[in-house]
Amino acid sequence: MKGKGINSQERNGPPSARAVGKRFRINVWHVGLLASLLAFGYWMFIASDRFVSEAHIVIQRTDSNQMPGASDVSALLMGTPSNNAAEQLLLQGHLLSVDMLEKIDSKLNLRAHYSDESKDILSRLSSEDIESELFYEHYLSRVEIEFDDTSGILLIRAQAYDPKTAYAIANMLVEEGERYMNTLVHRLAEEQVQFLEKQVSARADAVNRARQAMADFQNKHGLVSPKDTLVSLATVVNKLEGQLTELRAKRSALLGYLSTEAPAVVEVDLQIEALERQIGLEQARLASTQGDSLNQVVEQYQLLQMEAQFVTDIYKAALTSLEAGRVEATRTLKKVSVLQSPTMPQYSLEPRRLYNSVLFFLLTMLVTGVVQLLISIVRDHKD
């Protein structure tokens, strides 16, 4: 009888566990279905409408020599962006920055708009006085700025609870983006101009020093143009040597019929001696191993002249660059071209009610199935 009772309990035990497992299994699916129904009710009947304003912009340089639109057309044909991706990403980062949020909030009072208590609690801010970090996260969930690296276009999408606010956000993003890029470029151009002005001032001082060094050198040696003096002196030496040659030829002719003691020969010898002495003096002025010979003076002067010419050329180049920089600083170098102006939405695009409901249902069923599979595996191991 004992054995029979034990067997009866053993037989009754497993069916009871199976019944509990079955009820639990039914409850898991019930939870999944209930969550799906709640999500469906929220998305279809409770979630507040959000209107979306969209704009497309691109950065263009106004100093390009190409005809307007030529680069864009060629980029579309070649399948490459016509603008610098770094500039587009820079603008994207600024439009999504905290600074931009503060500007928009100060003008449009986004805190009050996004925390409107008439909107559903899941999509709005919990409070108008919420922390800045949480407000910024909410801003990033409502403003999307995507960069299309194929066409080089920035896509701006701004969400709000009414069409006018959505349009105002997108429009302010476009306007502030253009102002920011021009301000950034002008600031860089102004810094470049300031740098060039300092360079021009320094080069002007260098030119003045070089010219003063040339004047001091001329005054020291009493020569306005050492090179011209050298040429003149060389001409004189050549002329004296020519005269010396003629006198030597004349002496040779006189010795043909006169003795060396003859007065005519003696006179010619004196002239030859005087010319040789004069030529020696002039040649010593031209070149000498000691003292400041004229050729050394000319060499030093030419070095000073070359240095003065060099710093003058640099000064001219700096002046040209300065004028070009001033022109660039006063013009708009980059322009945010609006390919599509911010749209005034006519009906709400967000939330996508049916899509979100179906997606939530499928994900819930998937998760429920995984949980049920895990429960079945655990129960099989226990059995």
CA distances from 95 to 8, 153, 166, 224, 309 (A): 75, 14, 15, 66, 51
Q: Residue 54: inside a domain, yes or no? A: no
Q: Residue 257: inside a domain, yes or no? A: yes
Q: Residue 185: inside a domain, yes or no? A: no
- Give the pLDDT of residue 67: 41
pLDDT band at 81 (very low <50, low <70, confident <90, very high): very low
In this predicted model, which residue has the larger pLDDT, 250 or 298? Answer: 250
pLDDT band at 242 (very low <50, low <70, confident <90, very high): confident
Over residues 105-113, mean pLDDT = 91
CA distances from 347 to 42, 48, 102, 118, 276 (A): 19, 12, 28, 19, 113
Worst-scoring range by mean pLDDT, 77-81, 98-102, 124-128, 234-238?
A: 77-81
Q: Residue 236: inside a domain, yes or no? A: yes
For residue 167, pLDDT over 90 is answered with: yes
**Can you tell me the distance from the alpha carbon of 339 to that of 24, in angstroms, rounded to the nearest whole number?**
58
For residue 103, pLDDT over 50 is answered with: yes
- Give the pLDDT of residue 285: 62
* Report for 4-18, 36-50, 190-204, 256-270: range of highest mean pLDDT: 36-50
Q: Residue 268: inside a domain, yes or no? A: yes
Could you read off the pLDDT of 212-223 as tens digits, one per residue? 877 777 777 666
**Can you tell me the distance from the alpha carbon of 1 to that of 113, in angstroms, rounded to the nearest whole number?**
79
Tell me the residue range of the domain where 263 lies. 208-329
- Give the pLDDT of residue 107: 92
Could you read off the pLDDT of 273-288 as tens digits, one per residue? 877 777 766 666 655 5
**Can you tell me the distance from the alpha carbon of 278 to that of 247, in angstroms, rounded to the nearest whole number?**
14
Instruction: Specify whether the CB–CB gap between 98 and 162 falls below 8 A.
Output: no
Domain count, the chain: 1
- Model-level pTM? 0.57
Q: Residue 28: inside a domain, yes or no? A: no
* Report for 50-64, 158-172, 184-198, 229-243: range of highest mean pLDDT: 158-172
- Give the pLDDT of residue 250: 78
Sheet containing 153-160, strands listed edge to edge, beginning at the edge strand earlier in sequence: 143-148, 153-160, 51-61, 334-340
Q: Residue 292: inside a domain, yes or no? A: yes
Q: Residue 132: inside a domain, yes or no? A: no
**Can you tell me the distance from the alpha carbon of 258 to that of 274, in angstroms, rounded to the nearest whole number?**
22
For residue 28, pLDDT over 70 is answered with: yes
- Give the pLDDT of residue 27: 76
